[in-house]
Every structure is written in C-alpha cells, then in structure tokens.
Amino acid sequence: MDTHKVRICVPVCERDIHALERASEQAAAMGDIVELRLDCLSESAVTKISRLAGLCPRLNRPLILTFRPSEQGGHRDADLSVRRLFWETARKFFKEELLDIELDLARDAVTSIPKPDWGRTICSHHDFTGVPADLVHIYESMARTPARWLKIAVNARDAVDCIPLFQLLERANNEGREMIAIAMGTAGIATRILGPSRGNYLTYGALDRDRSTAPGQVTAGELRELYRIDHITRKTQLMGLVGLPVAHSISPEIHNSAFAAANVDAVYIPFEVRDLIAFIRRMAHPRTRELDWNLRGLSVTAPHKSAVMDLLDWIDPAAKEIGAVNTIVIDLDGLCGYNTDAVAVLKPVVEKLGPLRDARCALIGVGGAAKAVLWSLRKEGANVTVFARNPEKASLLAEKFGAKCKTLNASHFNDFDIVINATPLGTHGTFGADTPASAAQLRGARLAYDLVYNPIETLFLRQASEAGCDTIGGLSMLVLQGAEQFKLWTGIEAPVAVMREAAERAV
C-alpha cells in the first residue's frame, strides 16, 4: 500500500465475474483502492473466484476482498463455518490482496490453523441499526486481534452520532492502530469527508450514485471534485448545512465551488440534525463542543431556523425582528446569528418589477423563509396578505408584521401583483407533486415567485405560466443568500457567477 494520506476505496458489487472485472476497472480509474464485494456474486460465480487472482496486478491498485454476511450488511446468509471455509479457499488464490473479515471470524482465526496473514487483514464490525452502546468495548475486542487494520461502520441517525467515531479514530491514532471509522447514512457523511484528515486509513466512495454499497456513501468523484478531499487538513475551515432533511440540498455544490474559486481553505458539509440542542452543544459551540475541529460557519434550514435562536450568543437585530436565523458565524466568543434570506429574497423581484412600494403581494407560508420574505416586503413598503392552511399561524405572523391574513384553501390571487410560495410544496422528493396554488387560482396575478429551487421549474411555476403569469424560480435567491453567507464567513466578496453556475449545474 502507498503512504498517500487520502485513500479512496471504491467498492464494486456485481453478480458475475465478468461484470465484477469491468466494474473493477472503472473503480481503479476513480479510486486508490478497489474493494471486491464477493458476497454480491451469485452462488455459481463464487466457485469461480480463482479467475480474479490476477486482477490486482492488472489494475495496479490494491484490492480488498470482502465476503460480508447478511447480519453485517452483506448479501450472504453465511455463518461462521461457511465464512471460515470461504476464506481458507480464497487464501489459496489471493496472496497479496487485503482480506476484510468480521470480528467474530477474526477472533476464531486467532486460534485457527492455518492462521491468516494478519499483516494484510482488516478486522471489521458493521451495525446498520444504529450506534451500539458498547462501541468502545467492540473497538477494544478488535484491538486485541493481530489484524493490521480495524474497521467500524455504524448507522448514524443524527450528526452527533459521528462524535464517537471521531473519538475512536483519535484513540486509535494515539495507540498506534490503523483504523477505518465510518458513520453510515446521510447523518454520517462528515466521517467520510473528514475522516482521512483525522487519521482514517481510507474512506469509501461509490462508482456512481446508483452503485453505492452502504447508506450515505457519496461517490468517489464527489469526494475528489466537490469536497476536494485531497486538500482537507485539520486546519481547513469547516462550514456546513444544519437541517432535516439535507440530502436534497445543492448548497454543498454552491459553497464548495466558491471556496475553490476564491482559493479559500474551507469545505462545506451537510449535517443532518434531529436534536438541534445536542448538535449545538456537542459539535458547534466552541466552549462545549467535543471535537477539536475548525468549525467556522453554518447555514440553517428547515426545521431549525427559529429554534436555533435560543442557542446563540448574539443575533443580528434584523434576524431577531424576523424571528429566524439561517446563518451562523462561529468565533472564539461563541455563535452569532444572521438572516441572509432577507437580504437576498427580493432582489430578483425588484430587478424584474422595479420598486415594490404599494405592490399587492400574496405570501403563502408561515415558516422561517416566509418570515424573512414578510420582513423584506414590509421594508420595501409593499401591501402583504399572508395565506396559510393554518389560520392561527397565519394570523400570528401577519399581526407581527402588520400584514393581512387569509386561509389558503381555495383562495384566488387575481387581485395581487405578486404571489410568493414560501412553503416546501413542489420540492423534489416528498413534495414534488404538490403546489400551493393552481392555474385557476393564479390567473390574473402579474408575477409568481417560488422560493423552491429544486426542481428549477416546479409545479407551482408551471401552473403560473399556464395562468399567464411572469415567473421567478428560487435558484437566484438561493445563490444570492449564499453569497451573503460566504462574505460573513470569509470576509471577502463571493464569486457569485461561479456559485450561480454551480447551482445550475447541480439542479
């Protein structure tokens, strides 16, 4: 194995030998190491694995061989005896490849005859149900085997589940053990991106998004090109997106492209957060966080924009008045909150329509984004009516900002100059087939503005076009508010054109 610090291992999982060889060639072109998931092979193909014996020198890449049982996330119903027999056979053909064996098999092998070549053995443990309470005990059991590498992969439900993985990695480094620590799932992506810079022997990257072999596994191309993993060190500034969910967001593409263009040593990572209080206390706040890392800024999205305000040390007066924070700057004194949505949200509308004083505006939604829009519209002097399915929430928001309110239901918007969708309806995924208003409801309105940016053309915008309205999508607003975040975090002007191009490419 080479001594290059960042090693991306690309797993391949195929049913037949020829497909496995073809995929291995693709993996070798993308990564530093190739993992052959032999448990994916059909029963008949497993009997022919000797054909793979010459693959390692052909690929000019180290190979890891894996035969994972189903209880460890594999494709085999293979008990200890079946796996023992498999590896005894495999060792006859594979003399230089690395062998990834599970903890139970590694324990068994300590007293077996013949003994494995421990210098090329990975002792691994996988838990797809969560983070086991006895994780430290599992590590210590693995450390008692002679295996050169220890691998632990657990399923993360919240970003804070990454903490014990990073802590185990730190311990292994201090004890002189080579380790691979991965938190699977979207909530664990930080371990995949930051792991190598913190001593992880390797990280895993999929061939493409359709061929990942574990939850939350990003592609090898994304690790290298989007997150610039080869350039990440312990000094690299960390920024990230806090929300639930975050997998759909294109903010990593926007901000990481900006950092690269501006030559800023920083990386932007999605953090899937359920327990906001725990995340701020254990991972973000400089006085209480449990990780020694250079976290400098956060974007905040639904559902945390309002709740996070109680956890900050200082809030910009505008954000305080709005009642929502979407940007956090972290320094030695603590966490400072801002709202860049409010700065950016109306710029595309003003560019199209000019000044908005006395414009008749219908605002659909009562969440954090709606608060920023309403604050900005009031500042522009517009006349606003808030529409929501929940009349109580609409009334509270409207009263706070001196607006009118109505129940959404079958409302018509022909009396309005501008109709703004500040709900998640229309967002790619769960809400993709939804719209807050139909063409019949929108007919007569001058402009329809959707804050949803993915997809570029939402059902709401299609209905608005059918009704004869001018339209604006949410991508411009996303880029402009991101540019304001970039300036707050770095102190320099954002490369807006680069960010816009990255956003369009991502969507």
Is residue 15 within 8 A of residue 21, CB to CB? The reply is: no
Residue 2: the pLDDT is 41
- Beta carbons within 8 Å of 211's beta carbon, 6+ residues apart: 12, 13, 23
- Residue 399 binned pLDDT confidence (cut-offs 50, 70, 90): very high
Q: Residue 267: which H helix or E strand, with range?
A: strand 266-272
Average pLDDT, the chain: 94
Residue 3: the pLDDT is 42
| 413-422 tens-digit pLDDT | 999 999 999 9
Q: Exposed e or buried b for every residue in 203-223, given b needs 16+ CB within 10 A?
A: bbbbbeeebbbbbbbbbbbbb
How large is the average pLDDT for residues 182-198?
Answer: 97
Residue 1: the pLDDT is 40
| 139-156 tens-digit pLDDT | 999 999 999 999 999 999
How large is the average pLDDT for residues 372-392?
Answer: 94
Q: Residue 11: which H helix or E strand, with range?
A: strand 8-12
- Residue 411 binned pLDDT confidence (cut-offs 50, 70, 90): confident
d(C-alpha 29, C-alpha 33), whole Å: 10
d(C-alpha 498, C-alpha 34), whole Å: 34
Q: Is residue 92 annotated as a catalytic residue, yes or no?
A: no
Residue 410: the pLDDT is 75
- Closest among 492, 434, 425 to 452, alpha carbons compared: 425
> Which domains are present in the chain?
8-234 (3.20.20.70), 240-304+480-506 (3.40.50.10860), 343-473 (3.40.50.720)
Among residues 92, 95, 235, 305, the one annotated as catalytic is: 305
Q: Which of 141-150, 265-274, 366-375, 459-468 has the lowest mean pLDDT?
A: 366-375
Is residue 243 within 8 A of residue 300, CB to CB? The reply is: yes
Is residue 28 pLDDT above 90, yes or no?
yes
| 207-253 tens-digit pLDDT | 998 888 888 899 999 999 999 999 999 999 999 999 999 988 999 99
How large is the average pLDDT for residues 439-460?
Answer: 95
Is residue 4 pLDDT above 80, yes or no?
no
How large is the average pLDDT for residues 198-210?
Answer: 95
| 87-122 tens-digit pLDDT | 988 988 899 999 999 999 999 988 876 788 999 999
Residue 5: the pLDDT is 82
